[in-house]
Amino acid sequence: MKRQLYTADHEAFRATVRAFLEKEVLPHYEQWEKDGIVSREVWLAAGRQGLLGIAVDEEYGGGGNPDFRYASVLAEEFTRAGTPGLAIGLHNDIIGPYLTSLGTEEQKRRWLPGFCSGETVTAIAMTEPGAGSDLQGIRTTAEDRGDHWILNGSKTFISNGILADLVVVVARTTPEGGAHGLSLLVVERGAEGFERGRNLDKIGQKSQDTAELFFNDVRVPKENLLGELNGAFVHLMTNLAQERMAIAVAGIAAAEHLLEITTTYVKEREAFGRPLSRLQHIRFEIAEMATECAVTRTFVDRCIEEHSDPDGAGLDAVHASMAKWWATELQKRVADRCLQLHGGYGYMSEFPVARAYTDGRIQTIYGGTTEIMKEIIGRSLLG
Protein backbone atom coordinates (compact mmCIF):
# COMPACT_ATOMS: atom_id res chain seq x y z
CA MET A 1 0.00 0.00 0.00
CA LYS A 2 1.18 3.45 -0.78
CA ARG A 3 2.09 5.39 2.34
CA GLN A 4 0.08 8.60 2.72
CA LEU A 5 2.23 10.15 5.39
CA TYR A 6 4.97 12.05 3.68
CA THR A 7 5.06 15.08 1.37
CA ALA A 8 7.71 16.01 -1.19
CA ASP A 9 9.49 18.02 1.54
CA HIS A 10 9.81 14.92 3.72
CA GLU A 11 11.15 12.93 0.79
CA ALA A 12 13.69 15.67 0.04
CA PHE A 13 14.76 15.47 3.67
CA ARG A 14 15.08 11.68 3.30
CA ALA A 15 17.52 12.24 0.43
CA THR A 16 19.56 14.57 2.65
CA VAL A 17 19.69 11.97 5.44
CA ARG A 18 20.74 9.24 2.99
CA ALA A 19 23.52 11.44 1.60
CA PHE A 20 24.70 12.20 5.14
CA LEU A 21 24.76 8.50 6.02
CA GLU A 22 26.72 7.68 2.84
CA LYS A 23 29.29 10.39 3.36
CA GLU A 24 29.67 10.86 7.11
CA VAL A 25 28.56 7.64 8.78
CA LEU A 26 28.94 4.46 6.71
CA PRO A 27 32.64 4.91 5.82
CA HIS A 28 33.50 5.08 9.56
CA TYR A 29 30.91 2.80 11.08
CA GLU A 30 33.00 -0.40 11.28
CA GLN A 31 35.74 1.49 13.08
CA TRP A 32 33.25 2.98 15.52
CA GLU A 33 31.84 -0.48 16.20
CA LYS A 34 35.38 -1.62 17.12
CA ASP A 35 35.98 1.52 19.20
CA GLY A 36 32.68 1.19 21.06
CA ILE A 37 31.91 4.84 20.36
CA VAL A 38 31.23 7.19 17.44
CA SER A 39 33.39 10.24 16.75
CA ARG A 40 32.70 13.73 17.99
CA GLU A 41 33.22 14.97 14.42
CA VAL A 42 30.14 13.12 13.18
CA TRP A 43 27.99 14.99 15.69
CA LEU A 44 29.38 18.28 14.39
CA ALA A 45 28.77 17.14 10.79
CA ALA A 46 25.17 16.28 11.71
CA GLY A 47 24.81 19.76 13.17
CA ARG A 48 26.16 21.40 10.01
CA GLN A 49 23.77 19.31 7.93
CA GLY A 50 20.79 20.53 9.96
CA LEU A 51 19.99 17.09 11.38
CA LEU A 52 20.18 18.16 15.04
CA GLY A 53 17.44 20.14 16.75
CA ILE A 54 15.07 19.96 13.80
CA ALA A 55 12.18 20.80 16.14
CA VAL A 56 14.07 23.52 18.05
CA ASP A 57 13.14 27.14 17.33
CA GLU A 58 15.34 28.90 14.78
CA GLU A 59 16.30 31.62 17.26
CA TYR A 60 18.26 28.99 19.21
CA GLY A 61 19.91 27.55 16.09
CA GLY A 62 17.36 24.83 15.33
CA GLY A 63 15.33 23.92 12.29
CA GLY A 64 12.11 25.45 13.65
CA ASN A 65 10.12 22.47 12.46
CA PRO A 66 8.21 20.50 15.11
CA ASP A 67 6.64 18.11 12.55
CA PHE A 68 7.42 14.63 13.97
CA ARG A 69 7.43 13.18 10.46
CA TYR A 70 10.97 14.53 9.98
CA ALA A 71 12.06 12.63 13.08
CA SER A 72 10.38 9.56 11.72
CA VAL A 73 12.16 9.86 8.34
CA LEU A 74 15.46 10.16 10.20
CA ALA A 75 14.72 7.07 12.32
CA GLU A 76 13.68 5.07 9.24
CA GLU A 77 16.87 5.91 7.36
CA PHE A 78 19.22 5.26 10.27
CA THR A 79 17.49 1.93 10.82
CA ARG A 80 17.73 0.92 7.15
CA ALA A 81 21.40 1.84 7.13
CA GLY A 82 21.98 -0.30 10.24
CA THR A 83 23.64 2.55 12.15
CA PRO A 84 21.90 2.88 15.54
CA GLY A 85 25.22 3.68 17.24
CA LEU A 86 24.93 7.34 16.31
CA ALA A 87 22.04 8.20 18.61
CA ILE A 88 20.75 11.33 16.93
CA GLY A 89 17.15 10.22 17.51
CA LEU A 90 17.74 10.02 21.26
CA HIS A 91 19.26 13.51 21.26
CA ASN A 92 16.57 15.09 19.04
CA ASP A 93 13.35 13.31 19.94
CA ILE A 94 13.90 12.21 23.50
CA ILE A 95 16.13 14.78 25.21
CA GLY A 96 15.32 17.76 22.97
CA PRO A 97 11.68 18.04 24.10
CA TYR A 98 12.72 18.24 27.77
CA LEU A 99 14.91 21.24 27.00
CA THR A 100 12.46 22.99 24.69
CA SER A 101 9.27 22.37 26.66
CA LEU A 102 10.62 22.74 30.20
CA GLY A 103 13.64 25.03 29.80
CA THR A 104 13.51 28.65 30.94
CA GLU A 105 14.51 31.31 28.44
CA GLU A 106 17.94 31.51 30.06
CA GLN A 107 18.41 27.73 29.94
CA LYS A 108 17.38 27.56 26.29
CA ARG A 109 19.89 30.27 25.37
CA ARG A 110 22.57 28.45 27.33
CA TRP A 111 22.00 24.92 26.04
CA LEU A 112 20.14 24.85 22.74
CA PRO A 113 22.70 26.43 20.36
CA GLY A 114 25.28 23.74 21.26
CA PHE A 115 22.55 21.09 21.13
CA CYS A 116 21.81 22.10 17.51
CA SER A 117 25.42 22.50 16.37
CA GLY A 118 26.53 19.13 17.75
CA GLU A 119 28.96 20.70 20.22
CA THR A 120 26.73 19.59 23.09
CA VAL A 121 25.87 15.89 22.98
CA THR A 122 23.08 14.98 25.41
CA ALA A 123 21.91 12.05 27.52
CA ILE A 124 19.09 11.29 29.91
CA ALA A 125 19.83 9.37 33.08
CA MET A 126 16.87 7.70 34.72
CA THR A 127 17.98 4.10 35.23
CA GLU A 128 20.03 3.04 38.26
CA PRO A 129 21.58 -0.29 39.15
CA GLY A 130 18.60 -0.96 41.44
CA ALA A 131 15.82 0.89 39.58
CA GLY A 132 14.80 0.56 35.94
CA SER A 133 11.13 -0.13 35.27
CA ASP A 134 10.20 1.13 38.71
CA LEU A 135 11.36 4.74 38.81
CA GLN A 136 9.98 5.13 42.31
CA GLY A 137 13.03 3.14 43.40
CA ILE A 138 15.44 5.91 42.34
CA ARG A 139 18.03 6.51 45.04
CA THR A 140 20.13 9.29 43.53
CA THR A 141 19.56 12.22 45.84
CA ALA A 142 19.82 15.98 45.44
CA GLU A 143 20.08 17.82 48.71
CA ASP A 144 19.02 21.47 48.81
CA ARG A 145 21.91 23.71 49.90
CA GLY A 146 20.39 27.12 49.26
CA ASP A 147 21.69 28.27 45.90
CA HIS A 148 22.68 24.80 44.73
CA TRP A 149 21.98 21.08 45.07
CA ILE A 150 24.42 18.41 46.17
CA LEU A 151 23.91 15.38 43.97
CA ASN A 152 24.89 11.86 45.01
CA GLY A 153 24.22 8.53 43.36
CA SER A 154 24.86 6.46 40.28
CA LYS A 155 23.14 5.67 37.00
CA THR A 156 23.64 2.83 34.56
CA PHE A 157 22.88 1.89 30.94
CA ILE A 158 23.00 5.55 29.90
CA SER A 159 23.07 6.00 26.11
CA ASN A 160 25.62 8.60 24.95
CA GLY A 161 26.99 8.24 28.48
CA ILE A 162 30.63 8.73 27.52
CA LEU A 163 30.19 11.47 24.92
CA ALA A 164 27.47 13.43 26.69
CA ASP A 165 28.23 17.03 27.59
CA LEU A 166 24.85 17.60 29.18
CA VAL A 167 22.96 14.96 31.16
CA VAL A 168 19.38 15.30 32.34
CA VAL A 169 19.47 13.42 35.64
CA VAL A 170 16.42 12.18 37.51
CA ALA A 171 17.11 12.67 41.21
CA ARG A 172 15.20 12.54 44.45
CA THR A 173 14.71 16.05 45.82
CA THR A 174 12.12 15.13 48.47
CA PRO A 175 13.07 11.95 50.36
CA GLU A 176 9.56 10.95 51.43
CA GLY A 177 7.84 12.17 48.26
CA GLY A 178 7.60 8.81 46.41
CA ALA A 179 7.12 9.33 42.68
CA HIS A 180 6.35 12.95 43.37
CA GLY A 181 9.66 13.63 45.11
CA LEU A 182 11.75 13.44 41.93
CA SER A 183 13.17 16.32 39.88
CA LEU A 184 15.16 16.77 36.68
CA LEU A 185 18.61 18.29 37.19
CA VAL A 186 21.00 19.12 34.36
CA VAL A 187 24.59 18.10 34.99
CA GLU A 188 27.21 19.46 32.62
CA ARG A 189 30.55 18.02 31.54
CA GLY A 190 33.33 19.05 33.88
CA ALA A 191 31.21 19.35 37.03
CA GLU A 192 33.39 18.31 39.94
CA GLY A 193 32.47 14.85 41.24
CA PHE A 194 30.72 13.83 38.00
CA GLU A 195 32.50 10.72 36.74
CA ARG A 196 31.91 8.24 33.97
CA GLY A 197 32.24 4.55 34.61
CA ARG A 198 32.65 1.78 32.08
CA ASN A 199 31.58 2.05 28.47
CA LEU A 200 29.45 -1.08 28.77
CA ASP A 201 30.12 -4.14 26.62
CA LYS A 202 26.81 -4.97 24.92
CA ILE A 203 25.67 -7.75 22.56
CA GLY A 204 24.63 -5.20 19.92
CA GLN A 205 24.76 -1.49 19.06
CA LYS A 206 28.47 -1.73 19.79
CA SER A 207 29.30 1.80 18.64
CA GLN A 208 26.69 3.33 20.95
CA ASP A 209 28.49 4.44 24.11
CA THR A 210 26.23 3.14 26.86
CA ALA A 211 27.78 3.90 30.21
CA GLU A 212 27.64 4.08 33.96
CA LEU A 213 27.62 7.54 35.52
CA PHE A 214 28.62 8.45 39.05
CA PHE A 215 27.78 11.57 41.03
CA ASN A 216 29.83 12.19 44.15
CA ASP A 217 28.87 15.41 45.92
CA VAL A 218 28.30 17.14 42.59
CA ARG A 219 27.36 20.80 43.03
CA VAL A 220 24.46 21.51 40.70
CA PRO A 221 23.42 25.19 40.52
CA LYS A 222 19.75 25.93 41.18
CA GLU A 223 19.62 27.37 37.64
CA ASN A 224 20.00 23.80 36.37
CA LEU A 225 16.66 22.55 37.69
CA LEU A 226 14.66 21.64 34.59
CA GLY A 227 10.89 22.03 34.93
CA GLU A 228 9.05 21.90 38.24
CA LEU A 229 10.61 20.98 41.55
CA ASN A 230 9.39 17.43 42.34
CA GLY A 231 7.75 17.41 38.91
CA ALA A 232 9.99 14.84 37.17
CA PHE A 233 7.43 12.06 37.20
CA VAL A 234 4.84 14.15 35.39
CA HIS A 235 7.48 15.49 32.97
CA LEU A 236 8.66 11.96 32.21
CA MET A 237 5.14 10.68 31.64
CA THR A 238 4.51 13.56 29.24
CA ASN A 239 7.69 13.01 27.25
CA LEU A 240 7.90 9.23 27.29
CA ALA A 241 5.08 8.98 24.70
CA GLN A 242 7.35 10.53 22.07
CA GLU A 243 10.27 8.33 23.13
CA ARG A 244 8.09 5.26 22.65
CA MET A 245 6.85 6.45 19.29
CA ALA A 246 10.42 6.99 18.09
CA ILE A 247 11.29 3.43 19.15
CA ALA A 248 8.18 2.04 17.43
CA VAL A 249 9.08 3.87 14.21
CA ALA A 250 12.52 2.25 14.24
CA GLY A 251 10.91 -1.11 15.09
CA ILE A 252 8.67 -1.35 12.06
CA ALA A 253 11.35 0.12 9.80
CA ALA A 254 13.76 -2.59 10.96
CA ALA A 255 11.21 -5.36 10.40
CA GLU A 256 10.49 -4.11 6.88
CA HIS A 257 14.16 -3.86 6.06
CA LEU A 258 14.86 -7.36 7.36
CA LEU A 259 12.02 -8.70 5.24
CA GLU A 260 13.40 -6.92 2.18
CA ILE A 261 16.92 -8.32 2.50
CA THR A 262 15.61 -11.79 3.31
CA THR A 263 13.26 -11.82 0.33
CA THR A 264 16.24 -11.06 -1.92
CA TYR A 265 18.33 -13.73 -0.18
CA VAL A 266 15.83 -16.57 -0.52
CA LYS A 267 15.41 -15.82 -4.22
CA GLU A 268 19.17 -16.13 -4.76
CA ARG A 269 20.09 -19.00 -2.42
CA GLU A 270 19.55 -22.47 -3.88
CA ALA A 271 18.89 -25.77 -2.10
CA PHE A 272 17.73 -29.08 -3.54
CA GLY A 273 18.19 -27.75 -7.07
CA ARG A 274 16.07 -24.64 -6.86
CA PRO A 275 15.90 -21.28 -5.10
CA LEU A 276 14.70 -21.37 -1.50
CA SER A 277 11.89 -19.08 -2.56
CA ARG A 278 10.26 -21.95 -4.46
CA LEU A 279 9.70 -23.94 -1.24
CA GLN A 280 6.25 -23.55 0.24
CA HIS A 281 7.44 -23.18 3.83
CA ILE A 282 9.73 -20.32 2.83
CA ARG A 283 6.95 -18.68 0.84
CA PHE A 284 4.60 -18.91 3.83
CA GLU A 285 7.25 -17.46 6.13
CA ILE A 286 7.71 -14.47 3.84
CA ALA A 287 3.95 -14.10 3.32
CA GLU A 288 3.24 -14.12 7.06
CA MET A 289 5.95 -11.59 7.85
CA ALA A 290 4.87 -9.33 4.98
CA THR A 291 1.30 -9.38 6.27
CA GLU A 292 2.34 -8.61 9.84
CA CYS A 293 4.56 -5.77 8.64
CA ALA A 294 1.81 -4.27 6.47
CA VAL A 295 -0.73 -4.33 9.31
CA THR A 296 1.77 -2.84 11.74
CA ARG A 297 2.86 -0.19 9.25
CA THR A 298 -0.72 1.04 8.94
CA PHE A 299 -1.09 1.45 12.68
CA VAL A 300 2.31 3.06 13.22
CA ASP A 301 1.78 5.51 10.35
CA ARG A 302 -1.57 6.47 11.84
CA CYS A 303 0.16 7.08 15.19
CA ILE A 304 2.85 9.21 13.51
CA GLU A 305 0.12 11.21 11.78
CA GLU A 306 -1.69 11.78 15.06
CA HIS A 307 1.55 12.74 16.78
CA SER A 308 2.44 15.19 13.96
CA ASP A 309 -0.94 16.95 13.90
CA PRO A 310 -0.12 20.62 14.60
CA ASP A 311 -3.64 21.14 16.02
CA GLY A 312 -3.59 18.03 18.20
CA ALA A 313 -2.18 17.27 21.63
CA GLY A 314 0.19 14.58 20.33
CA LEU A 315 -0.28 10.87 20.58
CA ASP A 316 -1.55 9.71 23.97
CA ALA A 317 0.58 7.51 26.24
CA VAL A 318 -1.62 4.45 25.75
CA HIS A 319 -1.41 4.38 21.95
CA ALA A 320 2.32 5.16 22.09
CA SER A 321 2.70 2.14 24.40
CA MET A 322 0.68 -0.03 22.01
CA ALA A 323 2.84 1.06 19.08
CA LYS A 324 6.04 0.48 21.04
CA TRP A 325 5.38 -3.02 22.28
CA TRP A 326 3.73 -4.23 19.12
CA ALA A 327 6.26 -2.89 16.61
CA THR A 328 9.31 -3.93 18.65
CA GLU A 329 8.00 -7.43 19.39
CA LEU A 330 7.30 -7.76 15.65
CA GLN A 331 10.86 -6.60 14.94
CA LYS A 332 12.18 -9.26 17.33
CA ARG A 333 10.13 -12.07 15.73
CA VAL A 334 10.99 -10.99 12.20
CA ALA A 335 14.70 -10.72 13.04
CA ASP A 336 14.69 -14.25 14.41
CA ARG A 337 12.79 -15.74 11.45
CA CYS A 338 14.90 -13.85 8.89
CA LEU A 339 18.11 -15.01 10.52
CA GLN A 340 16.80 -18.60 10.35
CA LEU A 341 16.05 -18.19 6.64
CA HIS A 342 19.67 -17.18 6.06
CA GLY A 343 20.88 -20.47 7.54
CA GLY A 344 24.49 -20.42 8.80
CA TYR A 345 25.20 -17.17 6.99
CA GLY A 346 22.62 -15.52 9.22
CA TYR A 347 24.91 -16.17 12.18
CA MET A 348 27.86 -14.41 10.55
CA SER A 349 28.44 -10.87 11.81
CA GLU A 350 29.28 -9.63 8.32
CA PHE A 351 25.70 -10.35 7.19
CA PRO A 352 23.33 -7.43 7.80
CA VAL A 353 20.70 -9.81 9.18
CA ALA A 354 23.04 -10.84 12.00
CA ARG A 355 23.82 -7.27 12.96
CA ALA A 356 20.13 -6.32 12.81
CA TYR A 357 19.32 -9.26 15.11
CA THR A 358 21.72 -8.21 17.86
CA ASP A 359 21.29 -4.44 17.38
CA GLY A 360 17.52 -4.74 17.52
CA ARG A 361 17.21 -6.99 20.56
CA ILE A 362 17.21 -4.08 23.00
CA GLN A 363 14.16 -2.50 21.41
CA THR A 364 11.65 -4.40 23.58
CA ILE A 365 13.56 -3.38 26.71
CA TYR A 366 14.67 0.26 26.66
CA GLY A 367 12.20 3.13 26.70
CA GLY A 368 10.02 0.89 28.92
CA THR A 369 9.82 -2.88 28.52
CA THR A 370 7.03 -4.70 26.68
CA GLU A 371 5.64 -5.73 30.05
CA ILE A 372 5.53 -2.13 31.29
CA MET A 373 3.81 -1.06 28.03
CA LYS A 374 1.13 -3.68 28.70
CA GLU A 375 0.80 -2.44 32.28
CA ILE A 376 0.14 1.09 31.01
CA ILE A 377 -2.44 -0.13 28.51
CA GLY A 378 -4.07 -2.46 31.06
CA ARG A 379 -4.29 0.31 33.65
CA SER A 380 -6.05 2.58 31.18
CA LEU A 381 -8.68 -0.09 30.55
CA LEU A 382 -9.04 -1.73 33.93
CA GLY A 383 -7.90 0.88 36.42
Ligand X SMILES: Cc1cc2nc3c(=O)[nH]c(=O)nc-3n(C[C@H](O)[C@H](O)[C@H](O)COP(=O)(O)OP(=O)(O)OC[C@H]3O[C@@H](n4cnc5c(N)ncnc54)[C@H](O)[C@@H]3O)c2cc1C
Rounded to the nearest whole angstrom, what is the least distance from the CB of residue 95 to ligand X in the complex? 9
User: Closest-CB residue for ligand X?
Assistant: 132
Contact by Cβ (8 Å): 70, 308: no
Residue 96 CA to residue 101 CA, distance in Å, equals 8
Catalytic residue among 128, 243, 256, 285: 243
Residue 227 CA to residue 184 CA, distance in Å, equals 7
Nearer to ligand X among residue 33 and residue 301 (C-beta) = 33
Rounded to the nearest whole angstrom, what is the least distance from the CB of residue 90 to ligand X in the complex? 7
Contact by Cβ (8 Å): 140, 128: yes
The 10 Å Cβ neighbour count of residue 292 is: 17
Nearer to ligand X among residue 133 and residue 136 (C-beta) = 133
Give 325's contacts (C-beta < 8 A, 6+ positions apart): 364, 370, 373, 374
The secondary structure element, H or E, covering residue 252 is helix 232-268
Rounded to the nearest whole angstrom, what is the least distance from the CB of residue 373 to ligand X in the complex? 9
371 catalytically annotated: no
Residue 338 CA to residue 275 CA, distance in Å, equals 16
Residue 175 CA to residue 179 CA, distance in Å, equals 10
Nearer to ligand X among residue 290 and residue 318 (C-beta) = 318
Residue 151 CA to residue 169 CA, distance in Å, equals 10
Nearer to ligand X among residue 14 and residue 202 (C-beta) = 202
Rounded to the nearest whole angstrom, what is the least distance from the CB of residue 35 to ligand X in the complex? 17
Which positions lie near ligand X, rule CB under 6 A? 123-127, 132-133, 157-159, 202, 210, 362, 365-366, 368-369, 371-372, 375
Rounded to the nearest whole angstrom, what is the least distance from the CB of residue 291 to ligand X in the complex? 28
Nearer to ligand X among residue 65 and residue 363 (C-beta) = 363
> What residues are labeled active site?
243
